[in-house]
Copies of this chain bind each other. A is one copy, B any other.
Amino acid sequence: MSLIVQKYGGTSVGNPERILNVARRVIATQDAGHKVVVVVSAMSGVTDSLIKLAKDVSAAPTEREMDVLLATGEQTTIALTAMAINNLGRKAISLTGAQAGIITDGVHTKAKIANLTPRKLNAYLNDGYICIVAGFQGETTDGRITTLGRGGSDLTAIAIASAVKADLCQIFTDVDGVYTCDPRVVKTARKIDAISYDEMLEMASSGSKVMQSRSVEFASKFGVVFEVRSSFNNNPGTIVKAETADMENVVIRGVSLEKNQAKITVRAVPDRPGSAAAIFNAIAAQNIIIDMIVQSASAGTSNDISFTMSRDEFPKAKAALEKVVKEIGAGGLETHEGIAKLSIIGVGMRSHGGVAAKMFEALSRGGINIEMISTSEIKTAVIIDEAKLTEAANLVHEAFGLGVV
């Protein structure tokens, strides 16, 4: 008998019929001879409704109270899921984050899990119960309700899998797994059978929306093997695990795309200490997250500094920088709002040469200009014109032979 943790996201528990569907899946897992812990999110739409209510009573809702409010979303789902399983004749019991022993720090709306004591969980599992745990939430040692922020339910599932020493953690979602590229953009994109934590992390941070980085980081840190798969069919998903020797045989695992980027270039930044700091301090003061940064030699004693950010944050960044340009005596701002990022990712890059060259060649075949380049050990990313993204993705995907054979 093995122990499986299953996590179902908001779409998978989006209405009573879907909750009954989840109940049947969980029971099938138990029937296959496993102990089961189920982690559920709020029903899709519920969190947004709660946020709207909060905005209706307060322009800036207190974060402590926001957590009390949002935690009701998952609490509703655990009760309904346990009822649905009970209704089908099995023993199930619901546990809020606090009841499941999830202790967090006190940073409301984005708390970190500090400790997880699975005493109750283990007791119920040993009594033959299917345990239904509220994702996304926990409590502080002094009894305040906290939430874990975006992707928090995945984190709950992985932390529980680690604490109860589960044999497998299954993240059920509305996609079949992790793909070699976004199938809406590249028709020949293929589901990946297995991917390493590091590759998954690079995918997450370069536009792939399947999972938040910190859940993957947590799994990597504690060696939790997990599977991303669909709750709407029985297809096997993508296994995410520590790197194995044979993983490097594949040059590139996948291509990540990120739209809605913007680029700002500060021209002719005087080449003296403090100039770059002035620029990035101004950006940081607005809480804007910068992605790529490139500094290139300009004429004489100055440099051009370029960086990219989400297009949403572009107006704020531009406004902040217009002051700085004057203060430091730079040449001016040049902006480009219509850009996107394309990244190729794979541990095979370490042992295969010519990967970047192959990518650039594929792009050049389409006459696609590369505006910026950034690399890590297992990733090469380029900034291109957003209008060319679909063409670029298909060219690169094909160049590395990633498509369906």
Contacts and interface: CB of A to CB of B under 8 A. Distances in A.
A19 B55 CA distance: 12
Interface stretch (A82-90, A149-157, A165-173, A227-235): A82-90
B79 A68 contact: yes
Interface centre among A61, A66, A78 (most CB of B within 10 A): A61
Interface of A: 16-17, 19-20, 23, 50, 53-54, 56-62, 64-66, 68-69, 71-72, 75-76, 78-84, 86-87, 93-94, 96, 99, 120, 143, 145
Contact of A86 (B62, B78, B82): B62
Given A72-B75, A79-B69, A83-B65, A57 B20 contact: yes
Contacts of A86: 58, 61-62, 65
B57 A84 contact: yes
Given A53-B80, A58-B84, A60-B87, 16 more contacts: A17-B56, A23-B57, A54-B79, A59-B87, A65-B80, A65-B83, A68-B75, A68-B78, A68-B82, A68-B94, A68-B96, A69-B75, A69-B80, A71-B75, A72-B72, A72-B75
A403 B76 CA distance: 48
7 contacts: A16-B53, A50-B76, A57-B80, A58-B86, A62-B86, A65-B82, A68-B96
Contacts of A76: 50, 53, 69, 72
Nearest to A99: B143
Nearest to A60: B87
Contacts of A81: 57
Nearest to A75: B72
Nearest to A62: B86
A94 B72 contact: no
B75 A61 contact: no
Contacts of A19: 57
Q: Which 9 residue pairs of A and B lie closest in terms of their CB atoms, listed nearest first?
A: A16-B56, A69-B79, A58-B87, A72-B72, A68-B79, A57-B84, A58-B83, A65-B79, A61-B83
Contact of A83 (B57, B78, B80): B57
A93 B64 contact: yes
A90 B86 CA distance: 44
